[in-house]
Structure 1
């Protein structure tokens, strides 16, 4: 029963049948029916805005002592509270699944990422229907709900335009409106966008001023304005999750230029500067220790003097990206203020869904696909130096060096993926609700976790946790409401036990102590068994940063905590822990479905935004692309079919009416095979045959172009991409959406008519030669 006496524990709230007198004539004085009442939450329920920044460590934002100015984050904190011991799961998809469900990530099937899902309950990427999401609970209690930005919770085999959509933000996630991207990252200049479940294109180009961060903010502002204009008495729940600051670090140059010269001192000195500011702000204790640089991360002095300007620019670009995100978070909050609803809005600003990303190599990169394909040898120091000024612009797909990520996690050890240590899981969080929290500008040190958000929101709204939703008995929330700490900084913490696990990196927190075991580095796969891991023990009430390992001094306490971890692991579907690599990338072995089966696939005009998981793989094997087309009088131009874009891809197209094929190798070079004569007007069945050279991965091949059975052209492709063609660009029929594979065409839209396009693959696949550890690293970069 809620505060208003309405039975809200079973959702949807049952309709009550009329039990009064039924008259024969509506004009009869005894005719009386109660008026229709609209569904609303209990009186006083606040609006809710959850803002989740991506891949941002504890030591990045100025609100928590970082070097990057975030005045809007600080402005929000001045009206509310900073939580210094708020934790995530160490990876984006699991954190998001936990945030939106109020349950641990393994409880909702997101123990890893969808690309390596298995059939085990804790790792299948399928949120069970006994764990209804927060948005659905709020919607069924009368809230308006909308999500903007990043999702990356959809099972990989359900990401195509045909769904099913039960795990998409709408309708399955409880959001009535969604505008954003489905995958782990997207090009911020040319994003792969969905509105609801329909793919849509950005309103403009970078040259016209387009950037996704600004676009999603405009959409969010417009949605809230409309909601308040049409239903001002109805509260909203908005989930505002930008792609910032996940790679690619795309930002207008002027924002990056603001930080010119600010990082020339290097990452080691930067950590010391940040550490000092954190003590001044009081977000860490005065007696806290700065943890040393971790094993495998180079010092600034080890880097070559020639490369240091590139490394410094990588950090300038990242800083500009976070500052840019802060600006648009401020714009969104300003819009709420202008509408007069900000003071009655419970705002959660979680500055990072995990620690900063250590997936950018030791030197950083201008294009993540070099790393994704194991072709970093192409990106020499000379290449990086030559392309320094392109970082952050539409001509790059960039990421910064691992050591910058470590610096962004100051004062803690390790980075994203490392769930054993605070560097992977501790994220500065700000909570503001002026009409519901009396305290202003204060710090809270109680332990909290991302699963605590959902129960906190329900308690603030006066809505009970439902015991059934859509007829399914619900699993109780596993988080602890944080409301008790809002106006009492000295309140005894209530979230006293919490496990952490990601790829074998694991820990247990219990009443001021942590036992932790790091299993693997973020930049490599598992190299040994779980039982070989070394456990550490920390008294985090006295040792805030996990600097002094007490395992050898208190073996009994360590053993107790290890046992507690196993109990929690069994309780929340963590077992069996899975650090396998190649087996999890084989759907048959892993036990997950695949969307595309067989060795042939047909496409039709209008099909677009098909991800690599939605199409047959042509990598490391021979293949054929066949298309039935009609050429009008005067000839035709443009892409018949294209996959990928300017940072890697291929296209079959017509140029000056002649059949042509382009293969773009990571943006380094684009090789073409062209016919020397144009196709005549009328119907044609054209074909491109790619005969793979064999002998290993990433080899080239011979391309033959046909019109019917007539050879129209031949040529050689020197090398191909073995693992990933594009992170977020897609297969598009009759066009080349977003960035272009080749400059041979401009818009890329085919000016003839396409009946169908068919893709056939050969039986000479050599993908089994891929290093399984690299497959894991490949998947992790896209989180």
Structure 2
């Protein structure tokens, strides 16, 4: 029962503390059982089984290799095929639908398996460890907060440092972040990065610095307590941001393309022994273009995309290595159980068949702007501050060697099998060993509890708990030949589904990740199922036996349905845009009506927290108090360098600037300076109409009188940014306009309020519902 109840023993109570019979036991620090290890869980983002050199891939990860040499490699460890579901499942020891995370928070519905609300009957592992005397901390990505609870006003029940059980949190809330200029939180408080990109800032390094500092402080001040650290960098999720010297190390290494890379990786995997000698390399599906069919003029860009990704993963390995070195330096490596899970799902195929320089262009239906000529002109900038880049589908497929498919495809191992390393000198006697028992991310929590000698709690914070659904992996630490204990597991993501049972797997792919617009999805009952016999040596799901053994296939299909009922998978939900509409999906929303008022100091407001001004007429009005001598700075800004808009005072004059995808800007400057005193500054945008992403006329007003006009020739129809926010009286992150920096953006007068009002000419109905879903999925 947690918290452990305080139950003082009855005894003599004296009147005077000086009485010789006055006696009380000393206050003792809450500690777990003797021998409970420190725990470090490292979860890398969007890495396929065949990416890291530790599992035969082309991306050099020497620290992962070193850790594996002293520990164990697991070559049949599985995730859910998507980031937020994997994270919530891992942190709770329950299946992702059991904890409401059937997909990402942005597509939550009112169905229990897809609500994004973790039931209070399923307390997370860090809460259990904290209430048993562990020090707990998380550094990096948290994508488990329901989208309507992700604003600075909370509620914070699902945030790591509140209901999540972590005493310390430093990182970001959401699916992805700019590695050069991230939106960060310390606990629940927005904070700015400690330095700028020009000063050498990078998010992964910053997270490692904080983790190292916290671990050292914890051992300095509470050495008797073990720690639980969850280190979850945003790397290597898009955007693939990394200092240039890292991708330069890979110059020319990917000139043969993704088909050839699959062959090379497959051969190395066999040499390393991380796949069986009789494993087969699965063929390329027709939906994935062949390297030889790609335009010749685009191939230098495609090569550089992969060089950047490889450098990004090596850079990530380097900073994970710094955390490992810090643990080694404290002399506690022997006593620390370490998990390095190389990917929360398969490699990401959300970068389209060509990849992207600024993925916001694709998200807004403007991918045509990124012509081969444009991409070539930006080749040297890929991975840098001016890019928001992703690699092509073919590279994702190659990084999932030897398996079929990629991230989001929960049916096949390419979406769900991730190389994993476990290191614990005090608990593992076969350094460099390989383990091939079937394991799953829900097994991590019960393993840690067993290693710590702690029971699963039956009650947490007064709520009766349901049992964990994972199986401890501890039995396999000392025995490579031990019979696997986790022998039944379902998979499902957006209709892609599968079942594993005692070596056999039955799977069906319902939809292709990068083909989410147009076309008609098959009825669930019409999906074509495949059957694979892993027990007979089909490691990679290469030999479909469905035609030969229809009876066994039907047994497994029924078993999938039984498991789906058991764990809240039903109803299967492959809907598109309906899931992006809160009213249709049945989830709360922060945004209501056609008007929204803000006050100075408000900031870090995600696009989900602000009324949408896209594809319609709108206005923004600010009431300001200008001191003698004038004022400058931001009144309101949304987005940043890669798309957004801002209303600000420059040289005392109102200015409205609309940044289209970082490619071009439309700026309207007023003819008059705002005098001292209280005034209203207003911008009105008159949408041209006739569809999506159209332009419109700009008029600037001072106290109701027009003082400037201009035009925006085109607008962003879908989204401004994946991580940039709306700020009042300043601008955080990257800036929409070059007229100011984040450091100089703060308004030097006083803002009373700012208000956005929407027109009645909304053209959002022209947006295909599936297009909305594609954008949401690609941003997670």
TM-score by length of 1: 0.98
Q: Distance in 1 between matches of 2:722 and 2:363?
A: 9
Q: Distance in 2 between matches of 1:263 and 1:634?
A: 59
Q: Distance in 2 between matches of 1:780 and 1:294?
A: 22
| Contact 1:144-1:235 within 8 A present in 2 as well | yes
Q: Name stretches of at least 5 consecutive residues in structure 1 with no aligned partner.
A: 1-9
Alignment counterpart, residue 63 of structure 1, candidates 54, 64, 80: 54
> Does the residue aligned with 2:309 lie in a helix, a strand or coil?
helix
Q: Distance in 2 between matches of 1:759 and 1:61?
A: 48
Aligned to 1:535: 529
Aligned to 2:289: 298
Aligned to 1:274: 265
Q: Distance in 2 between matches of 1:30 and 1:238?
A: 45
Alignment counterpart, residue 30 of structure 1, candidates 21, 24, 38: 21
Alignment counterpart, residue 73 of structure 1, candidates 64, 76, 81: 64
Aligned to 2:586: 591
Aligned to 1:5: none
> Does the residue aligned with 1:306 lie in a helix, a strand or coil?
helix
Q: Name stretches of at least 5 consecutive residues in structure 2 with no aligned partner.
A: none
TM alignment of 1:68-107, pairs within 5 A? 68-107=59-98
Number of residue pairs matched by the alignment: 774
Query: In the alignment, does 2:597 pair up with 1:606?
Result: no
Moved more, 402-411 or 696-705: 696-705
| Contact 2:579-2:773 within 8 A present in 1 as well | no
Cα deviation for residue 708 of structure 1 reads 1.1
Q: Distance in 2 between matches of 1:368 and 1:191?
A: 17
> Does the residue aligned with 2:587 lie in a helix, a strand or coil?
coil
Cα deviation for residue 778 of structure 1 reads 0.6
Moved more, 771-780 or 357-366: 771-780
Alignment counterpart, residue 774 of structure 1, candidates 768, 771, 775: 771
Aligned to 1:717: 712
Cα deviation for residue 528 of structure 1 reads 2.6
CA offsets per residue over residues 702-744 of structure 1, 9 Å max, x none? 1111001100111111111111011100001111211111112
Cα deviation for residue 25 of structure 1 reads 2.2
Q: Distance in 2 between matches of 1:508 and 1:327?
A: 36
Cα deviation for residue 764 of structure 1 reads 1.7
| Contact 1:144-1:237 within 8 A present in 2 as well | yes
Q: Over aligned residue pairs, what C-alpha RMSD do you find?
A: 0.9
Cα deviation for residue 26 of structure 1 reads 2.1
Cα deviation for residue 29 of structure 1 reads 2.5
| Contact 2:487-2:501 within 8 A present in 1 as well | yes
Moved more, 657-666 or 625-634: 625-634
Aligned to 2:661: 666
| Contact 1:641-1:732 within 8 A present in 2 as well | yes
Alignment counterpart, residue 628 of structure 1, candidates 623, 636, 639: 623
> Does the residue aligned with 2:559 lie in a helix, a strand or coil?
helix
Q: Distance in 1 between matches of 2:490 and 2:610?
A: 38
Alignment counterpart, residue 326 of structure 1, candidates 317, 332, 336: 317
CA offsets per residue over residues 583-635 of structure 1, 9 Å max, x none? 21111111100012222111111111110011111111111100011222332
| Contact 1:524-1:773 within 8 A present in 2 as well | no
CA offsets per residue over residues 145-188 of structure 1, 9 Å max, x none? 00000001100000100100000001110000000000100000
| Contact 1:84-1:445 within 8 A present in 2 as well | yes
> Does the residue aligned with 1:11 lie in a helix, a strand or coil?
coil
TM alignment of 1:298-697, pairs within 5 A? 298-525=289-516, 527-541=521-535, 542-697=537-692
Aligned to 2:163: 172
> Does the residue aligned with 2:578 lie in a helix, a strand or coil?
helix
Q: Distance in 2 between matches of 1:738 and 1:166?
A: 26
> Does the residue aligned with 2:670 lie in a helix, a strand or coil?
strand
| Contact 2:653-2:670 within 8 A present in 1 as well | yes
| Contact 1:135-1:174 within 8 A present in 2 as well | yes
Cα deviation for residue 232 of structure 1 reads 0.1
Q: Distance in 2 between matches of 1:371 and 1:587?
A: 24
Query: In the alignment, does 2:727 pair up with 1:753?
Result: no
| Contact 1:524-1:774 within 8 A present in 2 as well | no
Q: Distance in 2 between matches of 1:598 and 1:773?
A: 24
Alignment counterpart, residue 222 of structure 2, candidates 225, 231, 239: 231
Aligned to 1:136: 127
| Contact 2:577-2:771 within 8 A present in 1 as well | no
| Contact 2:92-2:125 within 8 A present in 1 as well | yes
Alignment counterpart, residue 205 of structure 1, candidates 196, 200, 203: 196
CA offsets per residue over residues 9-33 of structure 1, 9 Å max, x none? x111111123111122222232221
Cα deviation for residue 772 of structure 1 reads 1.4
Q: Distance in 1 between matches of 2:465 and 2:547?
A: 43
